[in-house]
C-alpha cells in the first residue's frame, strides 16, 4: 500500500501521519505538495491537521482551491479512500467533498484535550476494525470544530448512516447532533475533527486511534 499525505502551507500534523504509517503500519507514505496535480500510484489519501494558509478567509477555504484538490476529487470519485483530519476535514467540506461546515467553537476558544467518542459507522475504509457503538477516546485540538449543516442535510446524514463518530458524555464545541466525523454517501471519504494519529501508541497513553489506520490496511488483503 502507498499512501499520499497532502502537505499544504501551514500543515503541522503531516509528520505524525507519516510516522504512524511508516513506523507502525509499515506501509509506504509519501508527502505530496499542494502544488502537485496527480495522485497516480497511490492507494489512499490523507489530508492532515494544521492551519493551512493560516486559516485565512475560513479554515480550509484557500487550501480547497489548490491544484492538488482537483486530483483529490478525481481520486475520491474513483471510490478510493480519502480521510481528512481536523484541518483536513475542514478542507474537505470547503471543497464540497463532504457536506456541512466547521464553525467556531461555541465558546470561541481553542480546545485541546481528549474527548470521548462513539463509533457510529464501522463500515468505512477507516473504521472496519472498530465495533459499532464502540466507545473510544481521542484528542482534539481546534478552534473551528463546530460542525453545522441545515436540518435537511443533517437528516440525510443520519438516515444514510453517514455519521462516523459522535461525541459522547460531553459535546466540546457545539456540533449539531454531537457530530465528530462524517463520510460521504459512498462511504470512501471520511472527515473527522479528533486526531487518531496522536493516539496510536500506548507509549503516548492511548492507542484508540490506531484502528483507523489498521482498518485501511485490510483493504489490501
**Hey, what's the cell of 155?**
437528516
Q: Is 195 a catalytic residue?
A: yes
pLDDT given at position 22: 98
Q: Which of 13, 86, 94, 142 is catalytic?
A: 86
First-to-last alpha carbon distance for the chain, in angstroms, is 10
pLDDT given at position 221: 43
Distant-in-sequence, close-in-space partners of 108: CB < 8 Å, separation ≥ 6: 143
What is the tens place of the pLDDT at every residue in 68-82?
A: 999 999 999 999 999
Q: Is 120 a catalytic residue?
A: no
pLDDT given at position 219: 83
- For the domain made up of 2-217, the CATH class stated in words is alpha beta
Buried b (16+ CB within 10 A) or exposed e, 118-129: bbbbbebbbbbb
CA atoms of 102 and 55, how far apart (whole Å): 12
Q: Which residues of the chain fall short of a pLDDT of 50? A: 221
- The pTM (predicted TM-score) of the whole model is 0.97
pLDDT given at position 18: 98
Closest by alpha carbon to 68, among 29, 37, 108? 37
Do the strands 179-183 and 189-192 form a parallel or antiparallel pair, or are they unpaired? antiparallel
CA atoms of 146 and 98, how far apart (whole Å): 15
pLDDT given at position 220: 59
Q: Which of 13, 18, 25, 197 is catalytic?
A: 197
Q: Which of 13, 59, 183, 195 is catalytic?
A: 195
pLDDT given at position 205: 92
What is the tens place of the pLDDT at every residue in 127-157?
A: 999 999 999 999 999 999 999 999 999 999 9
Amino acid at each position: 500500500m502507498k499512501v499520499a499525505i497532502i502537505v499544504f502551507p501551514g500543515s503541522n500534523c503531516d509528520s505524525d501521519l507519516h510516522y504512524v504509517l511508516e513506523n507502525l503500519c509499515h506501509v509506504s507514505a509519501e508527502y505530496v505538495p499542494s502544488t502537485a496535480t496527480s495522485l497516480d500510484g497511490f492507494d489512499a489519501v490523507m489530508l492532515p491537521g494544521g492551519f493551512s494558509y493560516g486559516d485565512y478567509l475560513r479554515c480550509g477555504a484557500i487550501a480547497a482551491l489548490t491544484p492538488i484538490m482537483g486530483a483529490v476529487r478525481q481520486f475520491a470519485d474513483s471510490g478510493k479512500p480519502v480521510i481528512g483530519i481536523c484541518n483536513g476535514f475542514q478542507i474537505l467540506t470547503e471543497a464540497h467533498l463532504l457536506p456541512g461546515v466547521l464553525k467556531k467553537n461555541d465558546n470561541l476558544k481553542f480546545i485541546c484535550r481528549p474527548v470521548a467518542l462513539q463509533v457510529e459507522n464501522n463500515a468505512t475504509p477507516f473504521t472496519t476494525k472498530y465495533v459499532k457503538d464502540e466507545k473510544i477516546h481521542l484528542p482534539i485540538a481546534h478552534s473551528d470544530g463546530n460542525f453545522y449543516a441545515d436540518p435537511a442535510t443533517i437528516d440525510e446524514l443520519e438516515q444514510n448512516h453517514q455519521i462516523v463518530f459522535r461525541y459522547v458524555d460531553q459535546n466540546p464545541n457545539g456540533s449539531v447532533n454531537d457530530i465528530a466525523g462524517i463520510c460521504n454517501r459512498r462511504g470512501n471519504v471520511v472527515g473527522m475533527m479528533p486526531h487518531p494519529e496522536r493516539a496510536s501508541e500506548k507509549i503516548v497513553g492511548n492507542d484508540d486511534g490506531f484502528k483507523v489506520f489498521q482498518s485501511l490496511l485490510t483493504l489490501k488483503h
